[in-house]
Structure 1
Amino acid sequence: MLLTTTNSVEGKQIVEYKEIVYGEVVAGANFIRDFFASFTDIFGGRSRSYESKLTSARQDAINEMVTNAQRAGANAVVGVEVNYTSIGSGSKSMFMIVASGTAVVVR
């Protein structure tokens, strides 16, 4: 499956637009991760545990979007965007990652 953030594919022709496709992941930030991240906030540096969780959740959202595009009969997704949103606060915090784009057929 070809994925691109652009609205066209260099050297290919879009012959059919299928539909807008999405992949959505809502992930919790557990108490332990929050606790150790608070030290990162105080002393500076990167929060590897959060980065790992975000990377995994982003890939899950993209994979779900690709699966939905394949179900629609597409062989590419153009205009791909990945958006992040924080939900809640404190020990109840979660984050949502949404991957979206337009499923198309290219030749």
Structure 2
Amino acid sequence: MSQQVILTTSSHLEGYRVTDHIDIVSSECVFGMNVLKDMFAGFRDFFGGRNKSSQNALRDARVACLDELRAEAAQMGANAVIGIDLDYSEISGGGKSMLFLVATGTAVKVTKA
């Protein structure tokens, strides 16, 4: 059911009409970054180039967070989330590095226009 929830960063959906604004919805995801990945990322930063492992971690975090946002919205009775904002942060210290991602938006009910 939650896979049917439409997600958009826009304030509206082309071809749909918002019939009910339900509430603000959010999901938070924290991912630990592997120490070896961090070490190789440092080498990559030094020598230049793209870091595939970091890119994959960012992609995995985004997908997981948006899936949770869909589920949260569906649980509220929404069939769409508009105005989505993704905020990424890194938390590090004590030899550990964590990726923190928050997705927020407005859970709404929409119908075809």
Query: Under a length normalisation based on structure 1, what TM-score does the superposition of the two structures give?
Result: 0.94
Runs of 4+ in 1 over 2 A off after TM superposition: none
* 2: CA distance, partners of 1:90 / 1:63: 31
Identity of aligned residues (%): 42
Letter of the structure 2 residue corresponding to residue 34 of structure 1: D
Question: What 5-or-longer segments of structure 1 have no aligned partner?
Answer: none
Instruction: Report the count of equivalent residues.
Output: 107
**Which structure's residues are more often strand, by fraction?**
2
1:28-39 aligned at under 5 Å gives the runs 28-39=32-43
Partner of 1:57: 61
Cα separation, partners in 2 of 1:65 and 1:58, compared to 1, 3 Å: same
Partner of 1:48: 52
* 2: CA distance, partners of 1:62 / 1:52: 15
Q: Secondary structure in 2 aligned to 1:70?
A: helix
Query: Under a length normalisation based on structure 2, what TM-score does the superposition of the two structures give?
Result: 0.89
Deviation at residue 92 of structure 1 after TM alignment: 1.1
Query: Is the Cα contact below 8 Å between 1:29 and 1:91 reproduced in 2?
Result: no
Q: Secondary structure in 1 aligned to 2:25?
A: strand
Question: What 5-or-longer segments of structure 2 have no aligned partner?
Answer: none
Partner of 1:20: 24
Letter of the structure 2 residue corresponding to residue 9 of structure 1: L
Deviation at residue 4 of structure 1 after TM alignment: 1.1
Letter of the structure 1 residue corresponding to residue 70 of structure 2: V
* 2: CA distance, partners of 1:41 / 1:13: 46
Partner of 1:4: 8
* 1: CA distance, partners of 2:54 / 2:31: 11
